[in-house]
Amino acid sequence: VYAAPSSVFGVTVDPAAAADQTFDYIIVGAGLTGTTVASRLSEDPNVSVLLIEAGGDARQDPRVYDMDRAFEFYASDLDWYWPADQGTHLSGGKTLGGSSSTNGGAYTRAPKEQYDAMSKLLEPEEQSLGWNWNGLSKYMRKSENFTPPNATQVEAGADYVRNYHGYGGPVQVSYPLKMFTGPHQPAFLQAAEEVASIRYSKDLNGGEPNAASITPLTMNAKDARRSSSAQAYLTPVEKTRKNWLTVTGHLVTKVHFKNGKLPLTATGVDFAATNGTSAVRYRAKASREVILAAGAIQTPALLQLSGIGDSTHLKSLGISTLVDLKTVGKNFQEQPQNMVFSQPSGVDLKGTGPGDAIAFPNLYELFGDDAKEAAKTIKSSISAWAKSQAGNAASAKALEKIFQLQADLIIKSNSPVYELFFVNSPDLIGMSTWQMLPFSRGSVKINSNDPFTKPTINVNYFSVDFDMKVQVYGVRLARKILQSEALQALVASEVQPGYETVPNDAAGGSDADWEAWIRSGFGANSHPLATAAMMKRSLGGVVDARLRVYDTKNLRVVDASVLPMQQSAHLSSTLYGVAEKAADLIKEDKARKY
Ligand SMILES: Cc1cc2nc3c(=O)[nH]c(=O)nc-3n(C[C@H](O)[C@H](O)[C@H](O)COP(=O)(O)OP(=O)(O)OC[C@H]3O[C@@H](n4cnc5c(N)ncnc54)[C@H](O)[C@@H]3O)c2cc1C
HEC readout, 202-269: CCHHHCCCCCEEECCECECCCCCEECCHHHHHHHHHCCCCCCEEEECCEEEEEEEECCCCCCECEEEE
Span 463-473, average pLDDT: 98
377 belongs to a structural domain: no
271 inside domain: yes
CA distance 343 to 327: 46
| 486, 521, 556 - which closes a domain | 521
Query: Same domain, yes or no, for 140 and 56?
Result: yes
DSSP states of 514-577 as a string? HHHHHHHH-EE-S--B-TT-BS-GGGT-SB-TT-BBTTBSSEEE-SGGG--S--SS-SHHHHHH
Residue that is last in its domain, among 501, 521, 541: 521
Q: HEC states along 281-341?
A: CEEEEEEEEEEECCHHHHHHHHHHHCCEECHHHHHHCCCCCCEECCCCCCCEECCEEEEEE
Q: Is 387 a member of any domain?
A: no
Same-domain pairing of 64 and 114 = yes
Q: Which residue numbers belong to the known binding site?
A: 252
- State whether 43 and 184 are in the same domain: no
In short, whether 560's Cβ falls inside 6 Å of ligand 1 is yes
Is 392 inside any structural domain?
Answer: no
The mean per-residue pLDDT over the stretch 158-167 comes to 98
Among 250, 256, 313, 527, the one annotated catalytic: 527
Could you list the beta-strand ranges (E) of 451-533: 456-458, 491-496, 523-524
State the pLDDT at residue 592: 82
Question: Which atom of ligand 1 approaches the CA of 294 most closely?
Answer: 34
Report the CATH number at residue 352: 3.30.410.40
Contact in structure between 400 and 163 (CB atoms under 8 Å): no
Residue 428 domain-assigned (yes or no): yes
- Model confidence at 593, in pLDDT bands (50, 70, 90)? low
Among 498, 521, 544, which residue terminates a domain? Answer: 521
Determine the Cα–Cα distance for residues 55 and 78; give it in Å rounded to an integer. 7
Is the domain of 46 the same as that of 66? Answer: yes
Q: Which of 184, 256, 313, 570 is catalytic?
A: 570
Position 7 scores a pLDDT of: 55
97 C-alpha vs ligand 1 centroid, how far in Å? 8
pLDDT tens digits, one per residue of 108-137:
999 999 999 999 999 999 999 999 999 999
Active site residue 250: no
Q: Is the pLDDT of residue 1 over 60?
A: no
Q: Is residue 106 within 6 Å of ligand 1 at its C-beta?
A: yes
Same domain (yes/no): 196, 267: no
Please report, in range form, the residues annotated as the binding site for FAD: 252
313 and 266, same structural domain? Answer: yes
Measured CA to CA, the distance from residue 366 to residue 374 in angstroms comes to: 10
- DSSP three-state, residue 103: coil
Asked if the structure places residue 59 within a domain, the reply is: yes
CA 2 to chain centre: 33
**Interval 21-60: pLDDT, tens:** 999 999 999 999 999 999 999 999 999 999 999 999 999 9
pLDDT at site 26: 98
Whether 570 sits among the annotated catalytic residues: the reply is yes
Share of the chain above pLDDT 90, in %: 97
71 part of a folded domain: yes
Indicate whether 501 and 549 sit together in one domain. no
355 in the same domain as 276: no
Could you tell me if the CB of 169 is within 6 A of ligand 1?
Answer: no
Atom of ligand 1 lying closest to residue 250 CA? 43
Check if 294 has its Cβ closer than 6 Å to any atom of ligand 1. Answer: yes
With cut-offs at 50, 70 and 90, classify the pLDDT of residue 5. very low
Residues 163 and 100 in one domain: yes
pLDDT over 80 (residue 549): yes
Asked if residue 263 and residue 328 are part of one domain, the reply reads: yes
Residue 378 lies in a domain: no
Q: How many Å lie between the centroid of ligand 1 and the Cα of residue 91?
A: 9
| CATH number for the domain harbouring residue 112 | 3.50.50.60
Domain extent at residue 138:
1-173+229-334+444-459+527-594
Statement to judge: residues 550 and 469 lie in one domain = no
Q: Does the global pTM surpass 0.80?
A: yes
Tell me how far apart the alpha carbons of residues 179 and 542 are, in angstroms, rounded to a whole number.
42
DSSP state of 434: E
Q: What residue owns the CA closest to ligand 1's atom 31? A: 31
**Number of folded domains that form the chain:** 2
Dist. CA 37 → ligand 1 center (Å) = 14
User: Are 92 and 123 in a shared domain?
Assistant: yes
Instruction: Give me ligand 1 centre to Cα 75, in Å.
Output: 14
β-bridge partners, 95: 56
